[in-house]
Amino acid sequence: MVWLWAWLLVAVLALGAAPLAHKMALAQGASSLLVAFSSALVTAAAVVGWLLARGQVSRLRSISARQAVSLLLIGVLGSGLVSLFGILAMTETSAANRALFQSAYPAATALAARMLLRERLDLRAYAWIGLVCAGLLLMNLERNGALSLTGWPFWLLLSTLPMIGLADVIAKRSLNDQEPDVVAAGRAIGGALILVLALPWIVRDGGDAVVQTWPWLLLAGLCMAAFTVALYQVFNRTFATVAASLIALAPLLTLMGEIALLGLSLVWLQWIGFALVLLAVIGLSRRA
């Protein structure tokens, strides 16, 4: 039980710290492409290193071609494009807002499973999902009270929801017989591979930014690797409902850190929206 709580604490701290580390790297002059690629590369290396330490790298070679394609697709969507879009959005919005969208991913997965796998959702689940949507809208209010629905950061973050939902459905359909650590490693590798396509622009613009921001880039990648490994360790040892509820609170850490380090402030409607999303995600995870 002690190890279970320790893994859970690692998952919450890592998920809360990763968006803040991304934001700090952006604030110090790193480009979105550099932040996304560097953190994805560190994440992949760290997760593969974890497999090496556990003597499980051979499991990666044992997966079928079809499963390999599924793993890479999950990585492209869940660890590549979702991460890149979130980081791009943070050039104009807060890390807390990005973290809040991350916490809403269970709602996206539930809807994707309903549409693609025909899994049933009861009325309470739809109510929780509706509250998640309402909270995200309130969180994205401008200070003058006008919804920022015309702003590209909101739509970019919104687009990550169906992508993560699709990635989770593919994982559920294709990878039920694989070890969670293998899925985590394949997903991390797929995310890094898709972001390699941006390397020519990263090399051209990176240079000095890497020197200035490498501690934040390293921290962001290690946090995502730690979260990935810790999450699967927690869910492998049952306790899934309570774990999902507590992990959903990670954006609170991001918010507190951004207030302390970057002077973020929210209007009262945004505070209500933030609380609504967290409460709704906890309610949704408890009914799962």
Sequence-distant contacts of 61-67: CB under 8 A, at least 24 apart:
63/178, 63/182, 63/186, 66/174, 67/174, 67/175, 67/178
Contact 227, 18 (CB under 8 A): yes
pLDDT of residue 209: 75
- 65 to 58, 78, 111, 181: CA distances (angstroms): 15, 20, 28, 18
Low-confidence ranges of the chain (pLDDT < 70): 1, 143-150, 205-207, 232, 234-246, 286-288
Token representation of residue 15: 């998920």
What does pTM read for this prediction? 0.88
Contact 161, 105 (CB under 8 A): yes
On the 0-12 / 13-18 / 19+ scale of CB atoms within 10 A, 223 is buried
Residue 42: closest CA among 215, 158, 250: 215
Cα angle: 251, vertex 96, 209; to 5 degrees: 115
